[in-house]
Amino acid sequence: MIKTEQQFWAAQQAIQNLQKILLEARNVHTPKEYRAMSEPVLLEIQQREQDVLDYLQRTEEELVAA
């Protein structure tokens, strides 16, 4: 769970890094290999994006109380 703005920005950076890895992997792996290796990375991106959305929907008071 993201509780601070600093954690928010770190999560955003992590998402971008994972996306970059996938973009680069498409160029060096076969389609079959890419699908196999990308699945866990895509799940990680989805989880981090959900964490970002959860953070953004909370008010400052809710974040402090958590």
pLDDT higher than 80, residue 66: no
Spatial distance between the Cα atoms of 60 and 45, rounded to a whole number of angstroms = 25
Phi, psi of 31 (to 5 degrees): -55, -40
Phi, psi of 8 (to 5 degrees): -60, -50
Phi, psi of 60 (to 5 degrees): -60, -40
* Contact of 48 with 11, CB cutoff 8 Å: yes
Residue 64's pLDDT band (boundaries 50, 70, 90)?
Answer: confident
Q: What is the pLDDT of residues 8-48, one digit of tens each?
A: 999 999 999 999 999 999 999 999 999 999 999 999 999 99
Residue 63's pLDDT band (boundaries 50, 70, 90)?
Answer: confident
